[in-house]
Amino acid sequence: MSEERAELLKGTLDMLILKIAALGPIHGYGIAQRIQQISRDFFQLQQGSLYPALHRLEDRGWLKAEWKVTETGREGKFYSLTRKGRKQLQSEVENWKKLTGAVALILRTAE
């Protein structure tokens, strides 16, 4: 019954991954670490969510991947945004702002 569950990300995952990848080529494992660090441990991205998401984004033509060697000397799949991915990120951010704005309107409603 201990409620220490790892906080989940409701549909924002794609946007967050695209945003991190937009900062420069980065491998999957690194994306998860970055998201966790920047969010101050709020988001704890599971590998079972991470990798399927990366493949999904690649399939949709928003990310492209390239195998390279990391600083730590192992093989890693480095992802970067395509032009389509950059557009997608823009539109997702825009929609996110509208959505949070709409939610705020409702939450602000007084009794």
Partner DNA sequence: GGCGTATAGGTAGAATAGCGAGGTATTATG
Partner DNA sequence: CATAATACCTCGCTATTCTACCTATACGCC
For a copy of itself, the binding residues (CB under 8 A) are 7, 9-12, 15-16, 19-20, 22-24, 35, 38-40, 42-43, 93, 95-96, 98-103, 105-107, 109, 111
Picked from a copy of itself, DNA, none, the partner binding residue 45 (CB below 5 to 8 A depending on kind) is DNA
- In the complex, minimum distance from the CB of residue 53 to DNA, in angstroms, rounded to a whole number: 5
Which residues lie closer than 8 Å to 66 by C-beta, 6 or more apart? 25, 77, 78, 80
Find tokens 């201990």 and name the residue: 2
d(Cα 29, Cα 5) in Å, to the nearest integer? Answer: 21
Find tokens 């989940």 and name the residue: 8
- Counting beta carbons within 10 angstroms of the beta carbon of residue 41, is it exposed (0 to 12), middle (13 to 18) or buried (19 or more)? exposed
Q: Which residues in the 28-87 window bind DNA by CB under 7 A? A: 28-30, 33, 45-49, 51-56, 70-78
Which residues are at the interface with DNA (CB under 7 A)? Answer: 5-6, 8-14, 27-30, 33, 45-49, 51-56, 70-78
